[in-house]
A = this chain, B = another copy of it.
């Protein structure tokens, strides 16, 4: 059986999975990362873990390709991470793709993590039944991926999908990207945590145990009105960004993924309610707003899906495999 390795580099860990063409994860591992390490200091443990994983899952199949996703902008000609990934500085200006190709002697393909997540939802998740959609990943920041006509849209240099950097408020909050009023300053996990803290302070109180947006979601679930208001407001900003995207791109669906999407309808219901305020009725009619399905596996599965896409069809499908590679390890 032909497998792809999917590797999802985050700020604190790398997730690894061995994935078949139907999106089943046959083996998985996670490597804790210290972002202050060197490039090799980060990537070599991932290589070793993947080698072990292949050896363990060994009999199950052959790894024919490796898909990689990281934050930031990746040069599609050589897999170089050229910027926009300040939380993994050592990976910048290097190519994990080429490094993996050299070590494993199979093709590899690297792309942005949110774009990969969209590819995962398209192939194996909530995007399967739509021809066009946007996915936003609401985590520490907001990432995005676009699918038109059942294909990932990458744009001129391959950097498309920076949905978190739609300007939602001119002269608004400064953003890490250097611009002002970016969407992610108002609706990301960090923003939700900040806004909830501001609401508490305004009332002379605080929440020392609130360390992550999930804590705010938990409090909202427990009935905390300010936490609910915070999610409601984030939902309003998401509706505004989706409205702009729908007016520009006339999409069929808007997907919300990332850790904060675990809030479920507490976040999605205000998005759905406000969406009509922000787009033409002819354009908004029939659009579905829904949660992404692949959760923590979106990166692994999307990276694997994108890697498979660049291989010839699997031999077992009888369409003539030319993608045979040396078995690893």
Contact = CB atoms under 8 A, between A and B. Distances in A.
Nearest to A280: B177
A248 B132 CA distance: 15
A220 interface: no
A64 interface: no
Contacts of A243: 167, 179
Interface residues of A, number: 47
Copies in the complex: 2
Contacts of A167: 168, 240, 243-244, 278
Contact of A280 (B165, B170, B283): B165
Interface in A249-278: 249-252, 277-278
Contacts of A249: 146, 153, 155, 160
Given A148-B153, A278-B179, A162 B82 contact: no
Contact of A179 (B153, B251, B277): B277
A166 interface: yes
A283 B277 CA distance: 30
B84 A156 contact: no
A260 to B, nearest CB: 20
Contacts of A84: 280, 282
9 contacts: A146-B248, A156-B251, A156-B252, A162-B248, A165-B244, A166-B244, A166-B247, A178-B280, A248-B248
Interface of A: 73, 82-84, 131-132, 144, 146, 148, 153-163, 165-170, 177-180, 240, 243-245, 247-252, 277-283
